[in-house]
């Protein structure tokens, strides 16, 4: 009887473990948000991001573009590993092998017109609707990002920063990534409580500070002004 119960408990353990592992999100989009500066004289400006399938099996995803804001006269298009699509294409299927990464870029064609834009891109596993990621692509957006940048329960100071900044949060952080206004990662710090993160070697300007926990999840993305 005890052996039977042990065998049942073992089977249940592996079933639960398998279910939990399968249900964990395996789509990673970085950077998020992706940011780019656009001049009216530019022909084609991309906000670049990378989509990675972190699972151990091939998945098919569908990406869906939602234009939140687009200045009159501007056009926008999506590019993945398969193609750069015409501006009228809002959705497409994409297959990713285990561990594979695809570019997932949004392009802006300003056509000689000054302006700004924000694009939302939802990427969802066609076989598991809970496995999805939502990315924001920002063009000439210098204000706080609406839902993706939150400063409610996190403090970053001094801000503006001259030599260094510090972060106060209740979350346990593993690292901190910094991105410039065009979406390039410029620094990565290993995170410790009360640590000073030195930025005196960076050019003055606006940066995005991404806080990442020990499970490699993005906790918050904050703005930092360097002076």
SS3 156: strand
Q: Which residues of the chain have pLDDT under 50?
A: 1-24, 143-152
pTM more than 0.85: no
Fold exhibited by the domain 149-227: Immunoglobulin-like (2.60.40)
Reported as a single tens digit per residue, the pLDDT across 44-72 is 999 999 999 999 999 999 999 999 889 89
- Average pLDDT in the chain: 83
Reported as a single tens digit per residue, the pLDDT across 5-21 is 444 343 333 333 333 33
Strand partners, 168: 155
Per-residue model confidence (pLDDT) at position 133: 92
User: What's the CATH number of domain 27-142, 3.90.280.10, 2.60.40.10, 2.130.10.10, 3.40.50.720?
Assistant: 2.60.40.10
Per-residue model confidence (pLDDT) at position 155: 87
């Amino acid at each position: 009887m005890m052996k039977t119960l042990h065998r049942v408990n073992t089977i249940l353990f592996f079933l639960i473990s398998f279910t939990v592992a399968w249900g964990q999100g395996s789509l990673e989009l970085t950077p998020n948000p992706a940011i780019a500066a656009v001049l009216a004289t530019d022909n084609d400006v991309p906000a670049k991001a990378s989509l990675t399938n972190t699972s151990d099996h091939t998945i098919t995803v569908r990406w869906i573009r939602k234009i939140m804001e687009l200045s009159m006269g501007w056009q926008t298009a999506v590019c993945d590993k398969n193609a750069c699509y015409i501006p009228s294409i809002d959705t497409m299927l994409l297959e990713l092998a285990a561990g594979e990464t695809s570019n997932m870029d949004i392009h802006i064609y300003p056509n000689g017109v000054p302006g700004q834009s924000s694009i939302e891109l939802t990427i969802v596993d066609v076989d598991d609707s809970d496995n999805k990621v939502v990315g924001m692509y920002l063009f000439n957006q210098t204000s706080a990002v609406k839902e993706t940048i939150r400063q409610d329960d996190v403090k970053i100071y001094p801000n503006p920063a001259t030599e260094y900044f510090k972060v106060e949060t209740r979350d346990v952080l593993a690292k901190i990534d910094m991105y410039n206004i065009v979406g390039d990662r410029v620094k990565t710090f290993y995170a410790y409580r009360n640590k000073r993160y030195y930025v005196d070697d960076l050019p003055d300007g606006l940066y995005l500070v991404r806080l990442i926990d020990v499970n490699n999840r993005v906790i918050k993305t904050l703005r930092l002004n360097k002076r």
